[in-house]
Amino acid sequence: MNSNQYVVPHGTIKEYRCAVYFESLALWKEQNPVYRANIARQLADLAATLAELEAEAARNVTAFRSPTS
């Protein structure tokens, strides 16, 4: 594997899904309220980006579907 390759490609919807998942786990486990606040801010930013990517993917799927009637 090339050192520039990642298990999850950078900037993909899968990357953001994983990041949101793991940041949410970190938020649940963190005891320090200052750290929790920072994790929550990061999680909100990641979730907002993920929402945009999910909406774009949904638009692409509906654009390629043919009518069934």
Of the candidates 19, 21, 20, 22, the residue with the CA atom closest to the CA atom of residue 9: 19
State the pLDDT at residue 2: 62
Q: Which residues, at least 6 apart from 18, have a Cβ–Cβ distance to it below 8 Å?
A: 8
DSSP secondary structure code for residue 7 in this structure = S
Contact 44, 35 (CB under 8 A): no
Annotate 14-36 with DSSP letters as a single string: HHHHHHHHHHHHHHHH---HHHH
- The pLDDT-based confidence of 66 (bands split at 50, 70, 90) is low
Q: What is the pLDDT of residues 13-65, one digit of tens each?
A: 999 999 999 999 999 999 999 999 999 999 999 999 999 999 999 999 887 77
